[in-house]
Amino acid sequence: MNCQTCRVEIEELEAGGRLSEGAGAHLRVCPECGSFHDERQALRRLVGSLGPVHAPPDFDFRLRARLAAARTSASQRSPWLSFLASAPAIGIAAAFALLVAGFVIYRQMKAVPNARELARGAAAERPEHGNTIQETEQPGGEVADAGPVGNVKNENPSVVVEVKHQRAGVRHNPRRGVTAQAVAKAPTIVSNDSAALAAREILPAWRRPFNATANAVVELPVRSAAQPVRVSLDDMRGARRTVTLEPVVFGSQDLAGRSLSRGGVPEDIW
Amino acid sequence: MSTLTSVDELRFGTAVPQAVVAEESLTDHALLEATRAGDETAFAQLVGRYRNQITSYIYRMTNDYDGAVDMAQETFVRVYQAAERYQTTYAFSTYIYRIATNLAISELRKRKRRRLVSLTGFFQETEGREAREFNPPDGGPLQDAVLVDTERRAAVARAISTLPEKYRAPLVLRDVEGKSYDEIARILETSEGTVKSRISRARGFLRDKLRAYL
């Protein structure tokens, strides 16, 4: 038996137990292991001499009171609280979810009045500084009111221009254009300089067709430089073409950190 | 298990009913089964069997008598409350010692987090620094043998209380409580090899601290 095996046996020796014959023989020839054995035995006697500690005489009485208090509080506590106390992780997750939901609802409630105020402001600004097209140039140089498309009597086929402001996620009702065409006797196209506005503050998309004669200069409204403008051209004979105008990017917008498409804008403008 | 509404409904520890006499011969498992069925005297028997052992064990772990009594009571409260879920896979003593160990280790960790400034803390060993002896053995002759014994026991208790908790629990269970390696492994929920290794390391630490008494 080597020293390591002997020392393992000494360590694992039960209190009052005897070493094996091999370990005993090794101890007789190995003084280091012999002193290790004596030292370990002395240490175990020393630790074992600590003796038992007794519970105080009022241990049972205090325990009874404690049990009764625990049972009373457990019966008074609601099942939900008991459940949350037993699973604190679920409680924390639920509280976090409520917090996030509350934050989202708050943001939405805060955003809706802003959009309404913006719409109100835009409506108030329209007559003042809107680039308005109220007339349609006739080929003869006459200027006539631009009534509903169907009522316009053109000798030459006019071009019906529908201006759509595209907004991500908004689906346009195709009937809406017809209704607006019928109602808006003199369609007003307002160009608001909304370049400084965030994209989400753009007014709801609208669709208002108007007539324009061929080769006439037509001003199109720009409500936001951040959004593309789609122009639909209809020659009233079934041919239809849609042109998308890319947004215009200004340097100040870049400073504001807005992620706008710069496609088609020369790099050396600024 | 019936619901308690007052302290008086728990009659253990006072007048011993006749049924208790018969229950003294019951095993721990049988007593816990009876407790689960609503027999409070059976639980009183269990408390009577283990209150001193658990108090002593926790005291050796924490070196704080009042705290040890408090934690021993908490151990029994947990046993009582979890009686419905108790499984007779292992011995009841393993089960109750495991609860007591967990409570004691939690308390030791709380103390470590609180970082209480202890008057004896300056003399306890810290990471990488040798402890200074708070109460060094008096080299002069002591006339009273009782005083010598008391002083030696106090030194051993202090030395144990300076051990890291992972070494302290197996050492106390083995050398103070006299548990087997197998039971210690089950109480601490670790392997028997780990238990043996930790006990050996703990004895090495103690040998260095108590060299003057060996």
Is the CB of B4 less than 8 angstroms away from the CB of A44?
A: no
Q: Measure the CA–CA gap between B208 and B211, rounded to whole angstroms.
A: 5
Is the CB of B47 less than 8 angstroms away from the CB of A40?
A: no
Residues in B touching A40 (Cβ below 8 Å): 203
Is the CB of B55 less than 8 angstroms away from the CB of A59?
A: yes
What is the pTM for the complete model shown?
0.53
**Which of A129, A136, A134 lies closest to A187 in space, CA to CA?**
A134
With contact defined as beta carbons under 8 Å apart, do A170 and A205 qualify?
A: yes
Beta strand A159-165 with A210-212 is antiparallel
Rg over alpha carbons for chain A, rounded to the nearest Å, is: 44
Q: Measure the CA–CA gap between B197 and A10, rounded to whole angstroms.
A: 13
- Residue A11 distance to chain B (closest CA, Å): 7
Which pLDDT does position A151 carry in this prediction? 43
Where do we find the tokens 């208002």?
A208
Helical (H) or strand (E) element with A143: strand A143-145
Where do we find the tokens 């050796």?
B60
Is the CB of A43 less than 8 angstroms away from the CB of B210?
A: yes
DSSP codes of every residue in A103-135: HHHHHHHHHHHHHHHHHHHHHHHHHHH-----E
Identify which of A50, A54, A67 has the shortest CB distance to residue B52: A54
| Lowest pLDDT segment from A69-73, A180-184, B68-72, B138-142 | A180-184
pLDDT, greater one: A183 or A4: A4
- Residue A195 distance to chain B (closest CA, Å): 57
Helical (H) or strand (E) element with B155: helix B145-161
- Residue A13 distance to chain B (closest CA, Å): 11
Which pLDDT does position B167 carry in this prediction? 92
ipTM beyond 0.85?
no
Q: Measure the CA–CA gap between A256 and A243, rounded to whole angstroms.
A: 29
- pLDDT per residue as tens, chain B (214 positions): 445 555 455 555 444 455 555 556 788 888 888 888 888 888 898 899 999 999 999 999 998 899 999 999 999 999 998 888 888 787 889 999 999 999 999 988 888 777 655 555 555 554 444 445 556 666 665 567 778 888 888 888 889 988 998 899 999 999 888 889 999 999 999 999 999 999 999 999 999 888 888 7
Rg over alpha carbons for chain B, rounded to the nearest Å, is: 20
3-state class (DSSP) for residue B47 = helix
A216-234: pLDDT as tens digits:
777 766 666 667 777 777 7
Mean pLDDT score, A48-59? 87
Residues in A touching B153 (Cβ below 8 Å): 49-51
* pLDDT band (50, 70, 90) for residue A146: very low
**Which of B158, B86, B147 lies closest to B122 in space, CA to CA?**
B158
- Residue A21 distance to chain B (closest CA, Å): 22
Which pLDDT does position B124 carry in this prediction? 53
Which pLDDT does position A77 carry in this prediction? 64
Q: Measure the CA–CA gap between B45 and B13, rounded to whole angstroms.
A: 8
Q: Measure the CA–CA gap between A269 and B33, rounded to whole angstroms.
A: 88
| Tokens linked to B90 | 């292992």
Which pLDDT does position A145 carry in this prediction? 43
Which pLDDT does position A135 carry in this prediction? 40
**Which of A157, A160, A155 lies closest to A177 in space, CA to CA?**
A160
